[in-house]
């Protein structure tokens, strides 16, 4: 990894999170989760089910806890190892909420107003969006900084939020004369899966908020559903090119090739070396077969974890203890730096 944390002297720590709000999809897997599993082999990693973020849009209180268990089950099934990584739910660690408030007072309105994800999520009726949705990226900065996270593995859509986190860290350090107290967290946006697009429109990102189920492959889709969605994916009439340049102006072709590459751990050039000259009639079944081969074992494991919620709860409980042990002393220092009474 790079010398991202520049003059910051603390330990290098990987931090990332995912919202427990409905089905995990292929974009979450290829953009983030697959990298988490690799990173934990070498680095101290902290992974958070961000349920405080989830409630920035309405959630069913009867389902939220089970959604948190479900996302945890998906991580474990994909290979996140709770003996190597810290895995916990955001709401079980008070540091997030406390630091978020303090950083809301550090972040500037203009910075947050520039966030495109808020504009996308709030849509035309932003007056009706929750205030929490607006300050969502400040809570995200608080997540990372409450752990002094130095590197953040995410998909490309999170780049702007990570830039804001860096600005907030820098501003806090300067406002309070606390040089290098917070690191400048570096995004780790890696691999051909960093930006998985909708199966129905290669110019739109794959997203759980897309009304069309056919636009995404969900973790819990069975083999038949995966095959059907890939068969129905938008493509074009031409054969696949033999060179990467030939994907120019063909967003759907690029996306399907990128998905194949991410699943097979190959570059687009390698995929095209194999399939160049073939039409989608041949490529799509190969992609469907690969997707099923890679995802089915994870889905099966995820289901068996879900059959044992007590085991997942034990993982989250232990994770929360470890997460509190790291974040409490950091928050104590923040309180001293800010000058609160009785710190
Ligand atoms: P969430 O749950 O929306 O997304 C989780 C992860 O999946 C990635 N992702 C994608 N990657 C590639 N292609 C896609 N189509 C795609 N869709 C989603 C996201 O980039 C993300 O890595 N705001 C965060 C959650 C968060 C967080 C944090 C992340 C809260 N606090 C602190 C890092 C550090 C989010 O996007 O969640």
28 alpha carbon – ligand 1 mean position (Å): 7
- From 208, 231, 266, 318, the catalytic residue: 208
Q: Rounded to the nearest whole angstrom, what is the distance from the C-alpha of residue 156 to the centroid of ligand 1?
A: 9
How far, in whole angstroms, is CA 185 from its chain's centroid? Answer: 15
pLDDT score of 6: 63
Assess whether 208 carries a catalytic annotation.
yes
Of the candidates 148, 200, 205, 284, the residue annotated as catalytic is: 205
Give me ligand 1 centre to Cα 224, in Å.
27
121 is known as an active-site residue: yes
Q: What is the mean pLDDT of residues 297-302?
A: 94
Q: In the prediction, which pLDDT does 125 show? A: 85
Residue from 256, 308, 246 nearest 286 by CA: 256
Number of the ligand 1 atom closest to the C-alpha atom of 21: 2
Contact of 159 with 187, CB cutoff 8 Å: yes
Query: What was the pLDDT predicted at 4?
Result: 47
Considering the chain, what percentage of its residues have pLDDT values greater than 70?
Answer: 98
The more confidently predicted of residues 49 and 122 is 49
Asked whether residue 334 is domain-assigned, the answer is yes
Both 153 and 297 in one domain: the answer is no
Q: Measuring from each residue's beta carbon to the nearest atom of ligand 1, which residues come in under 6 Å?
A: 15-19, 27-28, 31-32, 50, 53, 140, 143-144, 152, 154-155, 157-158, 161, 193-196, 205-206
Q: Whose CA is nearest to atom 6 of ligand 1?
A: 28
3-class DSSP string for 237-291: CCCCCCCHHHHCCCHHHHHHHHHHHHHHCCCHHHHHHHHCCCCHHHHHHHHHHHH
Tell me the average pLDDT across 101-113. 98
- Looking from the CA of 61 toward its CB, the CA atoms found within 13 Å total 0
Q: Could you tell me if residue 200 is inside a domain?
A: no
Stretch 143-149: mean pLDDT, rounded? Answer: 98
Q: How far is CA 280 from the centre of its chain?
A: 30
For the residues 22-46, what does the mean pLDDT come to? Answer: 95
Ligand 1 centroid from CA 328, angstroms: 25
- In the predicted model, is pLDDT for residue 7 greater than 50? yes
Both 17 and 144 in a single domain? yes
Sequence-distant (≥ 6) Cβ neighbours of residue 87 within 8 angstroms: 47, 49, 72, 75, 76, 80, 315, 316, 319
User: Are 286 and 266 contacting, i.e. CB atoms less than 8 angstroms apart?
Assistant: no
Q: What is the pTM of this model?
A: 0.96
Which residue has the least CA distance to atom 14 on ligand 1? 27
Same domain, 271 and 219: yes
CA of 29 to the centre of ligand 1 (A): 10
138 and 9 together in one domain? yes
Beta-carbon neighbour count of residue 142 at 10 Å?
Answer: 30
Furthest CA-CA distance within the chain? 71
Nearest CA to ligand 1 atom 18: 28
Same domain for 296 and 314: no
Q: Which of 38, 62, 63, 121 is catalytic?
A: 121
205 is annotated as an active-site residue: yes
Ligand 1 pocket: which of 14, 17, 191 to mutate (most atoms <8 Å of CB)? 17
pLDDT for residue 1 is more than 60? no
Task: Report DSSP letters for 182-215, one per residue.
Answer: S--PEEE--STTSSPBPSS-TTSB--TT-S-GGG
Instruction: Give the number of domains in the chain.
Output: 2
- Whether residues 35 and 119 share a domain: the answer is yes
Residues 183 and 242 grouped into a single domain: no
pLDDT tens per residue, range 307-342? 999 999 999 999 999 999 999 999 999 999 999 997
Beta carbons of 93 and 323 less than 8 angstroms apart? yes
Task: Quote the ligand 1 centre to 155 CA distance (angstroms).
Answer: 6
Nearest C-alpha to atom 16 of ligand 1 is from which residue? 27
pLDDT at residue 262, rounded to an integer? 96
Q: Where does the pLDDT of residue 124 fall: very low under 50, low under 70, confident under 90, or very high at 90 and above?
A: confident
Chain mean pLDDT for the chain = 95
In a domain, 204, yes or no: no
What's the gap in Å between 296 CA and the centre of ligand 1? 22
Looking at the predicted structure, is the pLDDT value of residue 3 above 70? no
pLDDT of 157 higher than 90: yes
Per the structure, the complete domain to which residue 269 belongs is given by 213-303
Atom of ligand 1 lying closest to residue 206 CA: 15
pLDDT at 22: 77
Residue closest to 80 by CA, chosen among 116, 48, 112: 48
Atom 34 of ligand 1, residue of closest alpha carbon: 16
Does 83 share its domain with 157? Answer: yes
We report the CATH number of the domain holding residue 265 as 1.10.240.10
What's 332's domain CATH number? Answer: 3.40.50.620
- When pLDDT is cut at 50, 70 and 90, the band that residue 343 belongs to is low
Note the pLDDT tens digit of each residue in 252-293.
999 999 999 999 999 999 999 999 999 999 999 999 999 999
Task: Quote the pLDDT of residue 335.
Answer: 97
């Amino acid at each position: 990894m790079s010398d991202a944390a520049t003059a910051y002297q603390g330990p290098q720590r990987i931090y990332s999170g995912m919202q427990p709000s409905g089905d995990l999809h292929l974009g979450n897997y290829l953009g983030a989760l697959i990298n988490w599993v690799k990173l934990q082999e070498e680095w101290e990693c902290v992974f958070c089910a961000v349920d405080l973020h989830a409630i920035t849009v309405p959630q069913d209180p009867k389902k939220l806890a089970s959604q948190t268990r479900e996302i945890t089950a998906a991580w474990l099934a994909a290979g996140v190892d709770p003996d190597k990584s810290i895995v916990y739910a955001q709401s079980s660690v008070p540091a997030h909420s406390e630091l978020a408030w303090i950083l809301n007072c550090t972040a500037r309105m203009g910075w947050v107003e520039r966030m495109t994800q808020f504009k996308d999520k709030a849509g035309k009726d932003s007056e009706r969006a929750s205030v929490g949705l607006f300050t969502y990226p400040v809570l995200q900065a608080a997540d990372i900084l409450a752990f002094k996270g130095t590197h953040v593995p995410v998909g490309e859509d999170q780049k702007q939020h990570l830039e804001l986190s860096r600005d907030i860290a820098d501003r806090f350090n300067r406002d309070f004369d606390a040089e290098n107290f917070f690191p400048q967290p570096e995004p780790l946006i890696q691999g051909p899966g960093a930006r998985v697009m909708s199966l129905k429109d290669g110019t739109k990102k794959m997203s759980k908020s897309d009304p069309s189920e056919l636009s995404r492959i969900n973790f819990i889709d069975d083999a038949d559903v995966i095959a059907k969605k890939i068969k129905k994916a938008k493509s074009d009439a031409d054969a696949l090119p033999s060179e990467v340049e030939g994907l120019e102006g063909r967003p759907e072709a690029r996306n399907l090739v990128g998905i194949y590459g991410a699943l097979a751990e190959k570059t687009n050039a390698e995929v095209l070396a194999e399939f160049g000259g073939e039409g989608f009639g041949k490529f799509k079944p190969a992609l469907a077969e690969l997707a099923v081969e890679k995802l089915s074992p994870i889905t099966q494991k995820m289901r068996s974890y879900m059959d044992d919620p007590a085991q997942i709860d034990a993982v989250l409980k232990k994770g929360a203890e470890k997460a509190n042990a790291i974040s409490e002393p950091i928050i104590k220092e923040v309180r001293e730096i800010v000058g609160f009474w009785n710190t």
